[in-house]
Structure 1
Amino acid sequence: MFLICGEALFDLFGEASNDDSIGFDARIGGSPFNVAMGLARLGEESAFFGGISKDALGERLVQKFRTEGVSDRYILRTDYLTTLSLVQKDEHGSPAYTFYGSNAADRMVTKADLPAFDTPPLFLHIGSYTALVEPIAGALKALIERERDRTLVSFDPNIRPTVVADMALWRKNTEALMPLTDVVKVSDEDLALITPDTSIEDIARSWLRSGAALVIVTKGGEGASVFAPGIELTVPGIKVAVEDTVGAGDTFQAALLAGLKELGATNRSALAALDEGQLKRLVEFAVQAAAVTCARRGANLPRKAELEKEWAALK
């Protein structure tokens, strides 16, 4: 099982009008939500842990999980409201987010709410602002510390300046998680925000020294760079007609995790044993998956049948 932890919310895409009104296209989102859904669409057993409101929007979130085949066994239902994220795209289709979520359901998770497992998950993934904002950040760190000897830990910092503007805090939090993390996926844009004076290569190497076993830096249409002990390589991007890039990083993350399982890298020693060819094929698969999402509006992640050729090529 893949246990994906964090936020589930609604993205509101604003539409310009000629009068004083603004129309919104409301779509389910949240980086961890998308990763959980993406794994289910790739045929994996996926579950979600996080706080979801009992309000009408929260009901829609839970129903979507069920429709997509994501287990709701570990969802925490509360009376807090659902977070709303206003999404505005630039001329390249890249999204900027404004969050309305203080004291919302996804943040108000405590250590007392942590789930117990009959069988520990193969992978435990955290990321985005729920890895930073309290009380959920402390709860997720406690969960990782409790389970890290029995599961592989994946982390996507997914920096959100409109949630927390202090980039030094984002950097400190990210670096503090490295000794607890096995797999790190981060975008070059995120690194530019929290480490503007340090090269991608130097940051990735420092994270490996801190304890991570695999660091992958995504570079949008330029592909991704891979860093592991003794291995550094770059996989080029894929040219597509971009509708927008919403959910592209989450698609990459879901494909990355599913691909690691397919390669048998379900523990730290197996992860460390992956060779350069396997890592290259793994990231090529994730790049292709992300390209599919970029050609669609919103976080419409691909299903396994759409990536049949790339999936077969993994091994």
Structure 2
Amino acid sequence: MYVICGEALFDLFGEAGAEDGVTFDARIGGSPFNVAMGLARLGETAGFFGGISNDALGVKLVDKFRKEGVLDDYILRTDYLTTLSLVQKDANGHPAYTFYGANAADRMVTTEDLPVFREPPFFLHIGSYTALVDPIAGALKALIERERRNTLISFDPNIRPTVEPDMALWRRNTEGLAPLADVIKVSDEDLALIAPDEPIADIARRWLSSGTALVIVTRGGEGASAYSAGFETTCPGIKVKVEDTVGAGDTFQAALLSGMKKLKVTDRKSLAELEEQRVGRLLEFAMQAAAITCSRRGADLPVIAELEKEWAALI
């Protein structure tokens, strides 16, 4: 089982309405929410740990998880409100987010709320702003320290300047979590925010030297690169008519984690033994999954039937 930790919220896509009004199209979202849903759509057993409100929007979030087949055993229901994220797109479909979530359910999780797993998860994944903002950030760090002896750790920094504009804080937090993570997936845009003057390869090598086994850097339409102790490899992007890029990184993340299971990565030893060719196929699979999401509005992640050819090629 995969356990995905973090936020679940609603994205509000705004369109100019009549006169001075704005019409919103509300869609379920949140990076960890999307990753959990993406794994379930790829046929994996995935559970979610995070705070979800008892309000009307929280009810919809839990109902969606159940509909998608994501296990709700570890969801923490509270009376705090659901976070809202206002999404505005540029001319290329790239989203910018404004969050309304101070003291919301997804942030108000403490170490006292940590779940007890019936068996160690295959992967424990954390990321986005819930890995930075307290109290949940401290709780997730405690969870990693408790579980990492028997569980692989995945981390996606997923920088959100509108949650916390201090990039130095984001960088310190990312650098502090990197040694605890076995796999880091990060976008070149995120690295440009927290380390604008440092070459990407140098950042990846530093994380590898600190204990990370595999660093994946996504580059939007330009593809993705993988760094490990034994090799560096890059796969070109996939051409697609972009509706928007909301959820593309989360789709890549879900496909990456699912693909590792397909490649029989079961522990740190097998992760360290992944060869360049197999990692290249893994990147291709994850990029194809992300391309499908980019062709649709919002975080509408693909199901495994849409990726049969790429899934078979992973072996």
Counterpart of 2:102?
102
Residue 39 of structure 1 aligns to a residue in which SS?
helix
One-letter identity of the residue aligned with 1:303: V
Counterpart of 1:186?
186
Counterpart of 2:170?
170
One-letter identity of the residue aligned with 1:312: A
Q: Tell me whether 1:66 sits opposite 2:66 in the alignment.
A: yes
Counterpart of 2:19?
19
Residue 117 of structure 1 aligns to a residue in which SS?
coil
- Take 1:250 and 1:148, find their aligned partners in 2: how far apart are those partners? 22
Number of equivalences: 315
How much does 1:17 deviate?
2.3
How much does 1:155 deviate?
0.2
Where in structure 2 are the equivalents of 1:16-55 lying within 5 Å?
16-55=16-55
Give unpaired runs (5+ residues) of structure 1. Answer: none
Counterpart of 1:77?
77
Q: Tell me whether 1:86 sits opposite 2:80 in the alignment.
A: no
With structure 2 as the length reference, what TM-score do the two structures score?
1.00
Residue 207 of structure 2 aligns to a residue in which SS?
helix
How much does 1:178 deviate?
1.2
- Take 1:309 and 1:224, find their aligned partners in 2: how far apart are those partners? 20
Counterpart of 1:271?
271
Residue 133 of structure 1 aligns to a residue in which SS?
coil
- Take 1:223 and 1:178, find their aligned partners in 2: how far apart are those partners? 23
Counterpart of 1:147?
147
How much does 1:210 deviate?
1.0
Residue-by-residue CA offset, 1:123-172 (whole Å, 9 max, x unaligned):
00000000000000000000000000111000000000000000000000
One-letter identity of the residue aligned with 1:191: L
Contact 1:34 1:247 in 2 (8 A): yes
Counterpart of 1:246?
246
How much does 1:18 deviate?
3.9
With structure 1 as the length reference, what TM-score do the two structures score?
1.00
One-letter identity of the residue aligned with 2:272: A
Counterpart of 1:128?
128
Residue-by-residue CA offset, 1:167-216 (whole Å, 9 max, x unaligned):
00000000001111000000000000000000111011111011100000
- Take 1:20 and 1:80, find their aligned partners in 2: how far apart are those partners? 31
- Take 1:307 and 1:47, find their aligned partners in 2: how far apart are those partners? 22
Counterpart of 2:311?
311
One-letter identity of the residue aligned with 1:7: E
Counterpart of 1:209?
209
Counterpart of 1:257?
257
Counterpart of 2:221?
221
Contact 1:3 1:46 in 2 (8 A): yes
- Give me the CA root mean square deviation: 0.5
One-letter identity of the residue aligned with 1:243: E
Give unpaired runs (5+ residues) of structure 2. Answer: none
Contact 1:2 1:121 in 2 (8 A): yes
